[in-house]
Every structure is written in structure tokens, then in C-alpha cells.
Amino acid sequence: MAETKNVIEFKNVVKDYGDFKLDSINFAVPEGSVCGFIGQNGAGKTTAISLLLDIIKRDGGEVYLFGEPVDGKHHHLREDVGVVFDEMGFHEFLTAKQINTILKNVYKNWDENEFFNNLKKFSLPSNKKCGAFSRGMRMKLQIAAALSHNAKLLVMDEPTSGLDPIVRNEIMQIFREFEMQEDHTILLSSHITGDLEKIADEVVFIDGGKIVLSGNKDEILEKHALLKCANDYADKVSDSFVVYSQQGTYGSEILVNDADACRRLYPETVIEPSTLEEIMIFYVNQAKSPAKNA
């Protein structure tokens, strides 16, 4: 069986702004996967993406893209990367037709027919100034461009933030169709974990500039669970299993990191599957209140 290649690799990467620091982060994104890059706003997702795209310079560590170092000397790597940001990267006075003229002089592999086919597919006008587009239309315009130069990797920073559920679902379907093509990879940064549960194969969870969890999404979801019990029972649950515990009027809710072991050891409790959002919230709470789990 052929060894899986990593399209993205971060090795002990540091970026220090003084008031915020990416602190020796390590993670990899396998070829052909959809990786959900999750974390609350300000966790470090955009900084990491900017380092990957060589927009800013790191203070330490190594970043690799398609097995080659991101070091300012490998500009050809950008040909294979389609990028979609939270804010539209095109001037508002431009039309899609004018954007096509610009981008065919930027990308060697620009496919004009593909771009206009994507505009039609996404119901986007070619002669209307994109400043008049709705937020959903702006996102789809960026995606149309990202899909029109034969990119092998899509990198997206909060592409569905602020969109209604119908448009978000439409955009998720576009991503699924891209990923189903051979050797296509997606890094999707988002704090909307419900979208990622539907599409992601891998998950990287960052908080406060540090990687908290990374790995196969299904394995992370199977491993974690919400244990519910009476408040006076909560102390019986071993600290080695507890990510974070919160008490309420009607009992305690504990995120545990070994669901199978807890089902065996604490059969009198209720143990329910957890969502990515719940996992993220409990780990963030743990970081804010370490003394509670000391």
C-alpha cells in the first residue's frame, strides 16, 4: 500500500507578535483529505494560514507545502493552491469578466472556460461589479476563481462565516465535489464546527496559539463523550479521563477523553456522543480554568 503523502506540514512553527504567539505548532494534512482547522476567533488559524501562504514570515520552525519548504523561493507552489478568504480579495469595482482578464495573466494554468462555467454554475453575473454582490455571492466568486486554475489544494479561511444555512450548504457541496476528484485536498478553517462534521476527514484544533487536538475526525469523536451524572458522583470520575467538568442545578456534565473506558468503569452514568463544538468549548474552558482539573 502506497504511503500517504502530506500536502501541508507544520514542524515546530513559531510566530511571536508579543501579545500573541503561535507556540511551536505541529500538524500535517494528508493528500486527498478535507482537514477542518477549528478554533475560536483569535486562536491562531489565520496566522497559520498566512504562514502557509508565505504572506508573513515565521520566527521559527518549518512549513512545507507539497513536500517543498515555504521559504519565499518556491513561488511556483502558489499555482497549485486555490485560496478563499473571509473578506473578498477582489476590488469592488471589478466585474467577474475583468477579474478573468487579470487572473489569466497571474496563473499559468488559468482556465477561462472553467471560470465562466463556474460563474454560470454558481448563478453569478459576469458584468456586474462584485461590490454589489451579497456576502454569499462574494464567497462563491472567490471559490469560482479558486477552482479555475487546476488547483490541487484549496485553503479557505472562514468561507461560510455569516452565511445563511442554505448558502452554507451549497458551498459545502461545492467543496465535496472538489474533494472527490483524485488527489484534491482541502484545508478549511472555521469556527462553525457543524459544517466540518459533515465534510472533514481530519481535524486540527488550535486554541491560544497551541494545537490542542489533531487527527482523524471520526476517531476524535469516538474517543470523546459527555458523561452526565449527579454532582456528588462527579468526583468518582478519574482525573485522567476528565477534559473539563461543569456543574449545574440538575447534575454534572463532563467531557471525557476515553468514552469506552468510562462506559466500562461508570455504567451507572449517562454517556452520550459529543459534537466537535462541544469538544472545542470544553477544551477552551479547560484552558481558561486549569485549576479545576489540577
Greatest extent of the chain over all pairs of C-alpha atoms, in Å: 68
* Mean of pLDDT over the chain: 90
Q: Is the Cβ–Cβ distance between 39 and 280 less than 8 Å?
A: yes
Q: Domain spans of the chain? A: 6-215, 224-293
Q: What is the pLDDT of residue 145?
A: 94
Q: Identify the pLDDT of residue 292.
A: 46
pLDDT in tens, 111-120: 999 999 999 9
Using pLDDT thresholds of 50, 70 and 90, give the confidence band for residue 219: very high
Average pLDDT estimate for 161-181: 83
Confidence at residue 42, expressed as pLDDT on a 0 to 100 scale: 87
Mean pLDDT computed over 42-51: 92
Between these two residues, 76 and 277, which has the higher pLDDT value?
Answer: 277
Q: Note whether 10 and 33 are within 8 A (CB).
A: no
Q: Once rounded to an integer, what is the mean pLDDT over residues 123-151?
A: 91
Q: Please report which confidence band the pLDDT of residue 293 belongs to, taking 50, 70 and 90 as the band edges.
A: very low
Q: What is the pLDDT of residues 248-292, one digit of tens each?
A: 988 999 999 999 999 999 999 999 999 999 999 999 998 887 554
Q: Which residues contact 242 (CB under 8 A, 6 or more apart)?
A: 254, 255, 256, 257, 293
Q: What is the value of pTM for the model shown?
A: 0.89
Which band of pLDDT confidence, cut at 50, 70 and 90, is reported for residue 2?
low
pLDDT of residue 85 exceeding 90, the answer is no
Q: What pLDDT score was predicted for residue 280?
A: 92
Beta strands in the chain (DSSP E): 6-16, 21-30, 34-38, 60-65, 68-69, 81-84, 153-157, 185-190, 202-207, 210-216, 225-229, 242-248, 251-256, 270-273
pLDDT at 74 over 80: no
The answer to which of 8-17, 136-145, 256-265 has the lowest mean pLDDT is 136-145
Q: What pLDDT, on the 0 to 100 scale, is given for residue 18?
A: 93
Work out the average pLDDT over 128-152: 91
Query: Mean pLDDT throughout 23-34?
Result: 95
Which CATH entry fits the domain spanning 6-215: 3.40.50.300, 3.20.20.80, 3.40.630.30, 2.120.10.70?
A: 3.40.50.300
* Range from 32-36, 63-67, 131-135, 190-194 carrying the lowest mean pLDDT: 190-194
Residue 101 confidence (pLDDT): 95
**Residue 163 banded pLDDT, cuts 50, 70, 90:** confident
Sign of the C-alpha dihedral, residues 276, 278, 284, 290? negative
